[in-house]
């Protein structure tokens, strides 16, 4: 992948992230809950985008009923957002037009209990997906919404 394509992809991800974080903030404030934007340090190292009533939340956008990626390790091999410090994960599911709210530890424990095999095919579900052959160090797991909705706390 060229540097130009990589920069465009990063810019789009940043724009999407900002959009969903703003939408989440609006929903939280409309419920009269307290909202505080996380510091850049908390965002980068703790995987926390904001605090709601004092609890750290990592906001994810562009999720689909048939494809929800959960990040165990990031592209550099560091802890992914499932191993971060956020208490909650708020995933915007496009088809539901709502944020699906989970306890981060519930998702992490679900993966530890239910995911055993590795794959290099992003078509596979419920397997640790790796891109080692491309020099990437990330580990992700793809689930369908129906496979994790029993862990959902609420929808916003």
Whether residue 66 contacts residue 20, with contact meaning beta carbons closer than 8 Å, is answered with: no
26 CB-side CA count, 13 A: 8
Query: Which pLDDT band, with edges at 50, 70 and 90, does 134 fall under?
Result: confident
Query: Which pLDDT band, with edges at 50, 70 and 90, does 49 fall under?
Result: very high
Whether residue 101 contacts residue 152, with contact meaning beta carbons closer than 8 Å, is answered with: yes
Alpha-carbon separation of residue 117 from 10, 104, 113, 122 (angstroms): 30, 21, 12, 13
Dihedrals phi, psi of 137, to nearest 5 degrees = -115, 10
Dihedrals phi, psi of 129, to nearest 5 degrees = -95, 130
- Tell me the mean pLDDT in the region 83-91: 98
Whether residue 77 contacts residue 88, with contact meaning beta carbons closer than 8 Å, is answered with: no
Minimum mean pLDDT range among 8-12, 62-66, 68-72: 8-12
pTM score, whole prediction: 0.90
């Amino acid at each position: 992948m060229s540097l130009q394509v990589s920069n465009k992809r990063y810019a789009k991800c940043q724009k999407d992230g900002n959009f969903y974080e703003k939408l989440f903030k609006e929903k939280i404030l409309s419920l009269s809950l307290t909202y505080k934007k996380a510091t850049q340090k908390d965002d980068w190292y703790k995987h926390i985008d904001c605090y709601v009533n004092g609890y750290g939340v990592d906001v994810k956008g562009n999720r689909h009923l048939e494809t929800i990626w959960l990040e165990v390790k990031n592209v550099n091999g560091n802890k992914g957002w499932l191993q971060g410090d956020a208490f909650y994960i708020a995933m915007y599911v496009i088809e539901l037009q709502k944020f699906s709210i989970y306890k981060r530890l519930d998702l992490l424990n679900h993966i530890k209990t239910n995911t055993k095999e590795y794959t290099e095919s992003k078509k596979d579900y419920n397997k640790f997906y790796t891109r080692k052959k491309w020099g990437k160090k990330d580990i992700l797991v793809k689930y369908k919404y129906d496979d994790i909705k029993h862990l959902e706390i609420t929808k916003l």
